[in-house]
Amino acid sequence: MAGIGFELKRLFKKEGVFSTIFAGIYATAVTIGPTIIVIVALNIMYMLPPYIEIAYRDKELLSATILYVFVFALILASPINIILSRYVADKIYEEDYDSIYSSVETGSVLIAVFVGIMGIPFGCAMYFIGHLPLYYIFGTYMFFAGLSFTFYYMTFITVLKEYRKITFSFLGSLVVGFLFVVISVFWFGAAIVDAILFGLMLSFMLIAMILLFFIKRSFVNHNGNAGELFSYIKKGWWLILANALYIWGLYVHNFVFWFFSDYKIRVAEVFQSAPTYDMATYLAMISNISVLVIFVVNVETKFHTAYKAYCESIIGAAGKDIRRTKQKMIETLRRETIYIVQIQVIVNIIVYVTALVIFPKIGIEGVVLSMYPALSIGYMILYLVQCLMIYLFYLDDQKGAPLVGLAFFAGTLLGTLVTVKLPPGMGGLGLVFGASCGFTAAFFRIRYKLIHLDRHIYGRGKIVKQVKSAKEQKSVTIYSFQTMKKGGDSN
């Protein structure tokens, strides 16, 4: 979320209970708000009587379609968003608002291309292997595109500063989608599965368009420098890679279960999934996500301030002031990390105990409940990895961040390949292992970076152009007159 820090700082600066509550709601809204809204909307749609009455296979198809669209839209948009977020944050800091719209255009083209690259082959598979009707494929594709664009445009939310309008546009679009479902089912007698799919497609296309409308309205001037974002992508390849590895790690354990577990199912020949494991994952994610909100607030308000003070001291302060601000920044990082670990553990225990009591009462039991504890611990550690990765991004750790992503991804993949065949209660231990690998790597990497922070800050770049010469060093040019002399002698 580009520029979220500016807004959070403003909100948390205000004293009083209501301000704090509002700031908390704001932070929740911009970090996980859209997810919550979508979950609620989906559940409402699922509660419609025609949905309850349809065949289980149709329900499975719709669930699998929605799952795939969400997972792959996130996999697609997230790495691009991370670089865009940095770009937009830099432009806000530089007050160069004219460059922002150009990046919107460039990013949109990129998203469209990636949607095509991922969506068209899958669409073909849906048609030729799954024998699904073309309109359903079209609906899925457009839903995927709409969601990918929505994820992308949401990066600009904080730049727009029209939170209320955006929240209402989100809600409004979903209401329109819901109405569309109701009208098409009850009025025109459409199939509920198709209606929900097209309703969602309509909602997200609408959200994407409304966001684009707001962006266009806010940035009337644009400098046409569309290529600048590419130079950011070139410079920030490590950010993209680290984020991509993290996102893949986030889902790779699901993929392993989709293909290798005893819980795997195949819907319409193309949608491979493991609903039991996916449900347990979903619950583990939801029950731990509050930590992310707390972390974002703490990083953007406390750590960012300390980090900024340190950076400013480097530019123009005496050595003792630099040491002081550096120490303060390290202390803030240490304190906030310990704090977030403590909070995470407490929240996890509370949620875990609550879940054990509540889940059976709402019909979640059996295998899902067995899988939940390990996955909940996995998600607890996984979110800590994400938090530490954000520190690594701050510290500009171009090697460390992708390495942490890799440790997390590879650990999760290998771990889950081992645990996939174990009893359900141990299935999530693969994620625990992978997240622990990521956490260990991140912890030691941050420690290493802080120890060698001076080298990193002051030792970057080159003082003079470096020329690589395969031949003998050419720091000296030799003009030899000996040969000429010898030639002259022989004559």
Binding site for other proteins (CB under 8 A): 314-320, 322, 452, 454-455, 458-470, 473-482, 485, 488
Kindly state the smallest distance separating residue 308's Cβ from other proteins, in Å.
16
Distance CA 235, CA 251 (A): 27
Tell me whether residue 228 or residue 321 sits nearer to other proteins (CB atom).
321
CB distance 402 to 243 below 8 Å: no
User: Hey, is 472 helix, strand or coil?
Assistant: coil
Kindly state the smallest distance separating residue 307's Cβ from other proteins, in Å.
17
Kindly state the smallest distance separating residue 472's Cβ from other proteins, in Å.
9
Tell me whether residue 10 or residue 485 sits nearer to other proteins (CB atom).
485
Tell me whether residue 357 or residue 476 sits nearer to other proteins (CB atom).
476
Distance CA 390, CA 440 (A): 15
Distance CA 251, CA 283 (A): 14
CB distance 2 to 84 below 8 Å: yes
Tell me whether residue 57 or residue 455 sits nearer to other proteins (CB atom).
455
Distance CA 123, CA 140 (A): 8
Tell me whether residue 56 or residue 481 sits nearer to other proteins (CB atom).
481
User: Which residues lie below 8 Å from residue 6, measured CB to CB, with a gap of 6+?
Assistant: 92, 158
Look up residue 226 and give its two tokens.
């569309």
Of the candidates 33, 49, 72, the one whose C-alpha atom is nearest the C-alpha of residue 195 is 49
CB distance 114 to 148 below 8 Å: yes
Distance CA 456, CA 441 (A): 18
Of the candidates 343, 304, 316, the one whose C-alpha atom is nearest the C-alpha of residue 1 is 304
**Residue count (the chain):** 491
Kindly state the smallest distance separating residue 63's Cβ from other proteins, in Å.
54
Kindly state the smallest distance separating residue 270's Cβ from other proteins, in Å.
47
User: Which residues lie below 8 Å from residue 181, measured CB to CB, with a gap of 6+?
Assistant: 45, 48, 192, 195, 196, 199
Tell me whether residue 63 or residue 313 sits nearer to other proteins (CB atom).
313
Kindly state the smallest distance separating residue 324's Cβ from other proteins, in Å.
12
CA separation (Å) from 194 to 43, 136, 446? 16, 7, 49
Tell me whether residue 480 or residue 491 sits nearer to other proteins (CB atom).
480
Strand partners, 79: none
Buried b / exposed e across 255-267, counting CB within 10 Å, b at 16+? bbbbeebebbeeb
Kindly state the smallest distance separating residue 451's Cβ from other proteins, in Å.
11
Distance CA 447, CA 443 (A): 6
Output phi, psi for 273, to 5 deg: -160, 175
Kindly state the smallest distance separating residue 484's Cβ from other proteins, in Å.
9
Kindly state the smallest distance separating residue 486's Cβ from other proteins, in Å.
11
Tell me whether residue 54 or residue 314 sits nearer to other proteins (CB atom).
314
CA separation (Å) from 182 to 9, 50, 95, 179, 220? 42, 10, 46, 5, 38
Tell me whether residue 49 or residue 487 sits nearer to other proteins (CB atom).
487
Distance CA 410, CA 399 (A): 16
Kindly state the smallest distance separating residue 456's Cβ from other proteins, in Å.
10
Tell me whether residue 43 or residue 480 sits nearer to other proteins (CB atom).
480
Kindly state the smallest distance separating residue 320's Cβ from other proteins, in Å.
7
Kindly state the smallest distance separating residue 313's Cβ from other proteins, in Å.
9
Tell me whether residue 164 or residue 465 sits nearer to other proteins (CB atom).
465
Tell me whether residue 289 or residue 450 sits nearer to other proteins (CB atom).
450
